[in-house]
Amino acid sequence: MGEVYWRAEPDAARRVEALLSGEADLIADVTPEGIRKIEASGRAVVFTFDSSVCATFMCNLRSGVCTDRRVRQALNYGLDVPELIETVMEDAARPLNGPLTALHFGCDPATPPYPYDPEKARALLAEAGYADGLRLVLDVPTILPDEAPRLARLMAEQYAKVGVTTEIKEFADRPGYAGMVRAKQIDDACCFDSSPLSTYRVLREKFHSGVQGPWWQGYANSEVDALIDQAQATAGTVERRALYHRAYRIIRDDAPWIFLYSPTHSWGVGPRVRGWSAGNDGLIKLM
C-alpha cells in the first residue's frame, strides 16, 4: 500500500510551481491565473467543481436602513452580479438566485435571480424615502473570502450609480469578525460565506426567527418559519422539497441578504494521480 503526504502551502503560486515541478501530485484552490499556467504547461490538468458556498452580504434587519424590504431589494437590483463575477472572480463562480446553491436540496431552480436593474433600484429607494441618496456601511473581512475587500469596492462603484454612498469597513481579525457577526453587531450588511450543504441548517440557523441561530441577523417572516417547521416534520422527499421551495421563493423576495455568487473549486492534478474524486464540500477521496 502506498503512502499519502499532505503539506500546507498557503501561497497559491507556490502550489502551482510544486505541481508543475513534480514536487506535488495534487493541489487545491487553484486560482484563475494558476489554471491558465497549468493548462499552458501540458504537464498537469485542472478539474473544476461547483461548491455549496454562498458568497453574500447578510443585511442587518435589526436596525438601520436595511430594515426596509424595499431598500434590501434595491441593493440586489442595483448590482451587476455577472460583472462582479467576471471582474472579481475571473468567472470562477456562478450567480445565486437566492440563499442556496444549485447543489442544495432546497434550492428552487425556477426562481429567477435578481436582474441588474438600476432604474428599479432607484425607484425602490425613492419609495423608501431615499430619493436624495442613501448611505450604506458594509463590513468585510480581509480573508475568507479573500476577495471581499475588492468585491466591496466594486459594489460601491455600482451602487454609486443608483444613489447609494458606500462606506467599507475592513476587519483583519477573521475570528474576531466571525464573533462580531455571531453577536449580531454588524453595520448595515456584512460579507459572509454560507457553506453548509444542509438546507435544513441554512434555513433554520439563518432565517428562522424562532430559532435566531448564530448567523441570524433579524429576519422575521412567520410564513417562512412555519414552512421550515413543516419541512422538518415531513418525511416525504417530494413534499419536503416543495415546502423548501416555497420558503426559498419568499426569502428571495424578502431579500434579507444581498445575493451574489457561489465560487467554483479547482484542483491541479499531476500525471501520477489515478482514481480520485472531489466532493462538493472540498474533500477528496483517493481510491
Q: Give per-residue pLDDT as tens, 83-99.
A: 999 999 999 999 999 99
Backbone φ and ψ for 134, nearest 5 degrees, come out as: -135, 140
Domain map (residue ranges) of the chain: 12-50+264-286, 54-262
Write the single-letter amino acid at 254.
D
Mean pLDDT of 54-80: 98
Strands (E), 54-133: 54-59, 93-95
How crowded is residue 173: how many other Cβ atoms within 10 Å of its Cβ? 11
Can you give the pTM of this predicted structure?
Answer: 0.93
Give the whole-angstrom CA distance, residue 143 versus residue 137: 18
pLDDT in tens, 5-43: 889 999 999 999 999 999 999 999 999 999 999 999 999
Q: Would the pLDDT of 4 be above 90?
A: no
Convert the pLDDT of each residue in 102-133 to its tens digit: 999 999 999 999 999 999 999 999 999 999 99
Buried b (16+ CB within 10 A) or exposed e, 65-74: bbebbbbbbb
Of 206, 170, 163, 204, the closest CA to residue 187 belongs to: 170
Task: Give residue 277's pLDDT band: very low, low, confident or very high (50, 70, 90).
Answer: confident
- How many CA within 13 A on the CB side of residue 68? 15
The H or E element containing residue 266 is strand 257-269
Lowest mean pLDDT among 143-147, 221-225, 249-253: 143-147
Phi, psi of 227 (to 5 degrees): -65, -40
Q: Is the dihedral of CA 251, 219, 263, 169 positive or negative?
A: positive
- Chosen CATH of 54-262 out of 3.10.105.10, 3.30.70.920, 3.30.410.10, 3.40.50.150: 3.10.105.10
Long-range contacts of 61-67 (CB under 8 A, 24+ apart): 61/217, 61/218, 61/219, 61/220, 61/256, 62/184, 62/217, 62/218, 64/137, 64/187, 64/188, 65/130, 65/134, 65/135, 65/136, 65/188, 66/188, 66/189, 67/218
State how far the alpha carbon of 108 is from the alpha carbons of 103, 105, 226, 275, in Å. 10, 9, 18, 33
| 3-class DSSP assignment, residue 255 | coil
Give yes or no for residue 244 having a pLDDT over 70: yes
Average pLDDT over residues 201-222: 97
- The pLDDT assigned to 281 comes to 64
- Predicted pLDDT at 66: 98
